[in-house]
Amino acid sequence: MQGQFRKHIKRTFVVTCSLFIGWVLYSLVSHRIWSTEEQYEHLLKVFSLNTHGMMVGEGVTRKQEMLRYINQQDADIVCLQEVLVYKNPQRFTLPDLREAMHKYPYTYYDFKVYNSRRQFGNVVF
């Protein structure tokens, strides 16, 4: 079971890195993005954070603070590792996370089901 989890982590990491490398290569070939200060606007900002279980047991305030911090980074792509979400609507769920990250229209997630009540994994916005 541990081997499968590591494969999921590696696959998610490879997909994220591939997207980033592809963008860098495209930018180098198509644009001279480092030639003037004005062109820095075209840079891709990637934010990655290991959430260590997405604030388990920290209360609503801590979750809101972390999500506010993530949104303040104003990144084009947000990669979150070790995200823990619950299936019970009274707890922090995947729809809650999507709502908090509403400015990102696309979401990719790869969760391992911890048990019937919660899921654990990676999310890319």
Give the other-Cβ count within 10 Å of 3's Cβ. 7
49: number of CA atoms within 13 Å, CB side?
A: 17
Task: Give the separation between CA 25 and CA 41, rounded to whole angstroms.
Answer: 17
Residue-level pLDDT at 7: 74
Q: Which residue stretches of the chain have pLDDT < 50?
A: none
Residue-level pLDDT at 36: 57
Residue-level pLDDT at 12: 79
Which of these, 118, 115, 121, lies nearest to 6 by C-alpha position? 121
Give the other-Cβ count within 10 Å of 5's Cβ. 12
Task: Give the separation between CA 120 and CA 56, rounded to whole angstroms.
Answer: 11
Residue-level pLDDT at 98: 86
pTM of this structure:
0.62
